[in-house]
Structure 1
Amino acid sequence: MWDQGGWTPREKGLAVAVGALLLLLAGVGISLWAGDEKQSEAELQPYPPPSETAVPKEEDKGEEPTELVVDVKGEVKHPGVYRLSPGARVEEALGKAGGPLKRADMDRVNLAQPLSDGMALYIPAKGEEIPPGVTAGAPVTSGSGGEAGQTVNVNTASAEELQQLSGIGPSKAEAIIRYREENGSFTSVDQLTEVPGIGEKTLDQLRDQVTVQ
Structure 2
Amino acid sequence: MERIRTSWEALAVKWKIALIGGLISLAIIGIGGVWLFQSAAEPPVAVKAAQAPEPATTKPNQPKARASSSSKTKAPDRVVVDVKGAVKQPGVYTVADNTRVDQVVRLAGGFLPSADANQVNLAQKATDQSILYVPNQGEKPPMGPTEQSATPAGPTADRKVNLNQADATQLQSVSGIGAKKAEKIVAYRQQTGNFKTVDDLKNVPGFGAKTVTQLASSLTV
Q: TM-score, normalised by structure 1?
A: 0.42
* Higher Rg of the two aligned structures: 2
Q: Normalising by the residue count of structure 2, what TM-score does the alignment of the two structures yield? A: 0.41
